[in-house]
Structure 1
Amino acid sequence: MKARYIRVSTANQKAGRQEAKSISEETVFMDVVSGTIPFAQRTEGKKLLQKIQDGSVDYVSVSSIDRLGRNLYDILTTLELFKKKKVVLKVDNLGLESMVKGKENPAFNLIISVMASIAEMERETMLERQREGIAIAKAKGVYKGREKGSVESDKVFLSKYTEVIKCLKKGHSLRDTAKLCNVSLGTVQKVRKKLDR
């Protein structure tokens, strides 16, 4: 079976660009989670790994290597597991597959190591910019930030997605709901999860 792994960092990010590359015979696994969370600790990541372990998935596509993560060690650990189970990983934006005719692709290993390092560096750069921006805002006295320990309640979150709730209650599938309401699949999954509590 072929699978596609999609990851967005937050529920308000769109997964359309990643979803557009999927094909009908691929089973989609989508997480709404930071790239710093290890692959094996993500809800859909765990499900995908289970399918790989039981031998039902032998081919995985991602739009780019940073969808697997933003931590070099974790990406390489995930790739090693794929390799042990003889799972082919295809990275769309590089047009590369980890194995060619059942043999390891040496070019893939080299390029992926470099790309994974870049993904990790990009995250560090982004965090550094964020810290600098907060420091400047604090110095100007304009930084508010979220109150420490505060969390958006389920009620507040669900109040933002009344159309999604209506579609789900009418029996529409998660994908159809996402299209009808012009939100990401991850958002619909999060709404469903909160409704089921």
Structure 2
Amino acid sequence: MKAVIYARVSSTTDRQNTERQIADLTKYAEYKEMEILKVFEEKVSGAKKNSERPIFVEAINFCKAQKVDMLLVSELSRLGRNAFEVLETVKQLVDEGINLYMQKEQFTLLNEEGKPSMFAPVMIATLSTCAQLERDNIKFRLNSGRQLYIEKGGKLGRKEGSTKSKEEKAEEYKQVIKELKRGTSIRKTAKLCDVSVSTVQRVKAEFNL
């Protein structure tokens, strides 16, 4: 059985990493005697649209092209926190006959006959809606806290002079820019330049590469 691991964290800094997700899912794959064809890692908010998550899109397309049997994720929210986006992704997987394993929920999308289990649609819809509500609640609390901070005289934003100019960024990431202009993929550029995938994504977007 062929499998792919997709691991994601929301923070683009080194505060979070995907190591634990990958390690746990690898153990599961080995236990189930699955062949892991590829591991996809991404640092991007789950609130982003699929089109704004290039590694995720690459992972789904890889699964389709390689006729992968199983996509492994640590939990359903790794597919996103927008309920409609998650359901759209799940539908793509079902249409392609690709199973989905969610470690946290201990749940697989398809049964032994390759069809969604009886409770799969309800469970997926419920879990994805809960994930979106959780994100909305966090966003509300953060905005409320910022507003209170401002009302008390606080100021938001970076300190003056702490933001790098575009010219400074161009110099710092000149090798990244060079590779992207050559048409090198995001993941390969990250490895060649010894930077994170999220850094390459930011440079690509900022310099319209």
Counterpart Cα distance in 2 of 1:46 and 1:89 = 15
Q: What's the CA shift for 1:17?
A: 2.7
Q: What's the CA shift for 1:136?
A: 0.7
Hey, what does 1:95 align to over in structure 2? 106
Hey, what does 1:79 align to over in structure 2? 90
Counterpart Cα distance in 1 of 2:200 and 2:158 = 26
Hey, what does 2:7 align to over in structure 1? 6
1:121-151 deviation digits (Å, cap 9, x = unpaired) = 011101100111001100111232248xx96
Q: What's the CA shift for 1:44?
A: 1.1
Percent same amino acid among aligned pairs?
Answer: 24
Q: What's the CA shift for 1:34?
A: 1.3
**RMSD of aligned residue pairs (Cα, Å):** 3.0
In structure 1, what residue type is equivalent to 2:18? Answer: A
Structure 2's unaligned 5+ residue stretches are 173-189, 204-208
Hey, what does 1:136 align to over in structure 2? 148
Q: What's the CA shift for 1:191?
A: 5.2
Counterpart Cα distance in 1 of 2:84 and 2:199 = 32
In structure 1, what residue type is equivalent to 2:25? Answer: S
In structure 2, what residue type is equivalent to 1:100? Answer: N
In structure 1, what residue type is equivalent to 2:157? Answer: G
Counterpart Cα distance in 1 of 2:164 and 2:89 = 32
Q: 2:62 aligns with which of 51, 55, 79?
A: 51
TM-aligned CA distance change 1:188 to 1:141, over 3 Å: same
Counterpart Cα distance in 2 of 1:46 and 1:85 = 15
Using structure 2 for the length normalisation, give the TM-score: 0.70
Q: What's the CA shift for 1:118?
A: 0.6
TM-aligned CA distance change 1:107 to 1:129, over 3 Å: same
Using structure 1 for the length normalisation, give the TM-score: 0.73
Counterpart Cα distance in 2 of 1:73 and 1:192 = 28
Alignment of 1:178-197 (within 5 A): 188-190=196-198
Counterpart Cα distance in 2 of 1:7 and 1:142 = 33
Count the aligned residue pairs. Answer: 170
Q: What's the CA shift for 1:40?
A: 4.5
